[in-house]
Amino acid sequence: MKFIIFGAGAIGSLFGALLSTKNDVLLVGRKEHIEAIEREGLKIEGITKGIFHPKTKWDGSRYDVVILTTKAYDTKKALEEILHKFGKIPVLSLQNGLKNEEMITEIIGEEYAIGGITSHGATFLRAGKILHAGTGETVIGELNGRITERIEEIEEAFNTCGIDTRISTDIKKEIWKKAVVNVVINGLTSLLRCKNGELLKSRHAEETMEKICTECIEIARAEGIGIGEEIIDKTKEVAKNTAENISSMLQDIMKGKKTEVEEINGEIVRIAKKHGINACINEFLFKMIKAMENVRHLG
């Protein structure tokens, strides 16, 4: 298949590298990263090891699917660019956040929107070099739940390249489950400044993880999304499988970059408010991460 990876940061570059072994892959990303790949290839360390050679220049040909991996706060801008450059093309979001598919629908069109989530953990080491720090499943699905030819083709292409992937007929629920995982792991690791796996080493952190999940279950249900207690084990499983990863939010904080806290933790708090749900732990977590952007740290 022919894939465009739009927003080739840590996760996008990892997917681009793996898919490029058997597909035509065009990477679109930051100038320094793309230039480093053009000079020395795309280097992946950790669970996946190797130097990969995806394309970095568009030859004007038609591609099958765009895999969108930008930060959630950049989705709108990215989609406008995609539409302008590549025209109407199916877009599979593998981003964090709850609103990406809605934006694809609005900007490109309903029939072009494909939902997806991935629990792989990847760290951007430097331009041209990514650490594959944790594995996890990837789930994709049509927003209407149908098993279409294109979704089967993408699933096969992913699995053939070693990206463990399944199709869901309820991708909205999967996206919510992933959002809860991000609310907990990204939120708490940012506050505690630790790798994902550390959350399981403290009874206090683990209990807090459970409490945040419990609030999220109520919030999801108010939105008509049937998530149950199993999300607690799921969140712990992701923390275990990505134990050595620095969550994307903490990576951003450490680099002094804008985080996805508004799109992840902020969104959950806003939905809770809309339904009159008291989500005080989520609110505390969100406010503390926001406060970290402004207060001067000692030491």
Q: Which amino acids are annotated catalytic?
A: 178
Q: Judged by CB under 6 A, which stretch of 60-68, 137-145, 182-190, 285-293 contacts ligand PAF? A: 182-190
Which of 20, 70, 93, 119 is the binder for ligand PAF (CB under 6 A)?
119
Q: Judged by CB under 6 A, which stretch of 158-166, 216-224, 238-246, 276-284 contacts ligand PAF? A: 238-246
Q: Of 114 and 188, which CB lies nearer to ligand PAF in the complex structure? A: 188
Q: Tell me, by CB under 6 A, how many residues bind ligand PAF.
A: 14
Contacts for 272-275: CB closer than 8 Å, 24+ residues apart: 272/215, 272/218, 272/219, 272/222, 275/219, 275/222, 275/223
Q: How many C-beta neighbours within 10 Å does residue 243 have?
A: 17
13 binding ligand PAF? (CB under 6 A): no
Phi, psi angles (nearest 5°) of residue 145: 80, 0
Q: Judged by CB under 6 A, which stretch of 20-28, 50-58, 137-145, 177-185 contacts ligand PAF? A: 177-185
135 binding ligand PAF? (CB under 6 A): no
Phi, psi angles (nearest 5°) of residue 223: -90, 5
Q: Of 69 and 186, which CB lies nearer to ligand PAF in the complex structure? A: 186
Three-point CA angle 173, 167, 53, nearest 5°:
115
Q: How many C-beta neighbours within 10 Å does residue 230 have?
A: 11
What are the residues facing 126 on neighbouring strands? 129
Min separation Cβ 254 and ligand PAF, Å: 12
Going by the DSSP 8-state scheme, the letter that residue 94 receives in this structure is: -
Min separation Cβ 259 and ligand PAF, Å: 10
Residues at the interface with ligand PAF (CB under 6 A): 96, 119, 121, 134, 181-182, 185-186, 196, 238, 242, 245, 247-248
